[in-house]
Structures are given as structure tokens and as C-alpha cells.
């Protein structure tokens, strides 16, 4: 019998009206079982100037987070350049290639999705969602941006994740939401 990995679930980031917010639920699942309900999947880097969120295998995500921080330091805190360099390494390095995680990174101006296939994506509509409940969260966020533009980015992230948690069994209501420092 193969051991199942503990996986983290839903992350949602939004840029709206000059604000950026990134949030995640707190559930980690092992197969169909909740392994932990209050995992912190959002991390601040560079004194809060960069906020990151991860989905996938937790140990793999922390490895990538460390590598991303190294790239930020190597490339003068340039988030986009650090993301591209991490994605290059992730795709070509034999060890990193096996990691199973995705990341959303944000600064005060933009969001990026970094994947293990070498992609660095600037998401459509300035909404980034990864993890098991990502499509529910993204759909909710898209509707909120269109029909409730008076909400803040933080309120949209909170509501989008809450809707995802109502629908997705791998997403819960223990939310952490952060905004990058200006």
C-alpha cells in the first residue's frame, strides 16, 4: 500500500481597484481524510512586500518557497524575474522536477502563478486560484469583480474562498488572508 501525501488545498489572489489580497483555507487532506484543519498556506517574504500561497504537497511547497526566497535575494527582490528563474530551475532540475506543488505570489501591484511545468502566468482578470477548490473560488471571484466592484480585494478573496469551502470537500472555512506591504 502506497503512502498518501498530505496535500493543501485552495488559494485565491485578487488584484482589484489598486489593492492586492491573497488568501487560503486551512485544510490539509490525506486522501479523503482531513489531516489538519488549520494549516497556514500563506507566507510573507521580504518584510511582507511579497505574499505567497501554495497548494499541493506541503513539504514540496516549502522547498519551493525556500528556493523562491533565494531567487528574490539573487535578483534584487524582482518578483517576476525570481518567479521566472524558479520556474526554469523547477523544470530542469532533477530533484525539483519531482515536486508536486503550485504557488501564487503577489506584491503590491501584481499576482503570478508558478507551476512545475515551467509556467509563470499572469492570470486573466487579475484573479489567481490554485488547489482543489480553485475553480469554485475563481468563479466566485470573477462574479464578485463583475457584479460587486464596490468590495475590496480582501473582501472578494474572503467571499470567494468561503463559497469554495461551501462547495469543495477539500476546502474549509479556516481562512488566512494577507495583503502585501506597500
Which residues does the annotation place in the binding site for Na(+)?
165, 168, 171
Give Cβ neighbours of residue 120 (< 8 Å, ≥ 6 apart).
80, 83, 84, 87, 112, 113, 114
What cell was used for 135? 475553480
Count of alpha carbons within 13 angstroms of residue 113, beta-carbon side: 21
Catalytic machinery residues: 9
Contact 6, 166 (CB under 8 A): no
DSSP 47: T
Contact 152, 17 (CB under 8 A): yes
Rounded Cα–Cα distance for residues 177 and 147 (Å): 22
- What SS3 class is residue 28? strand
Binding positions: 165, 168, 171
Amino acid at each position: 500500500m502506497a503512502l498518501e501525501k498530505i496535500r493543501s488545498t485552495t488559494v485565491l489572489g485578487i488584484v482589484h481597484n489598486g489593492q492586492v489580497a491573497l488568501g487560503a483555507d486551512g485544510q490539509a487532506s490525506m486522501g479523503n481524510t482531513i489531516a489538519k484543519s488549520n494549516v497556514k498556506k500563506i507566507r510573507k517574504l521580504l518584510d511582507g512586500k511579497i505574499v505567497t500561497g501554495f497548494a499541493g504537497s506541503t513539504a514540496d511547497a516549502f522547498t519551493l518557497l525556500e528556493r523562491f526566497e533565494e531567487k528574490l535575494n539573487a535578483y534584487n527582490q524582482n518578483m517576476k524575474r525570481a518567479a521566472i528563474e524558479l520556474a526554469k530551475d523547477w523544470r530542469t532540475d532533477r530533484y525539483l522536477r519531482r515536486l508536486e506543488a503550485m504557488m501564487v505570489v503577489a506584491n503590491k501591484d501584481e499576482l503570478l502563478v508558478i507551476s512545475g511545468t515551467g509556467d509563470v502566468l499572469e492570470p486573466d482578470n487579475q484573479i489567481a486560484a490554485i488547489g482543489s477548490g480553485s475553480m469554485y473560488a475563481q468563479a466566485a471571484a470573477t462574479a464578485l469583480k463583475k457584479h460587486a466592484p464596490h468590495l475590496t480585494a480582501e473582501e472578494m478573496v474572503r467571499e470567494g474562498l468561503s463559497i469554495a469551502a461551501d462547495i469543495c470537500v477539500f476546502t474549509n472555512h479556516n481562512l488566512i488572508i494577507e495583503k502585501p506591504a506597500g
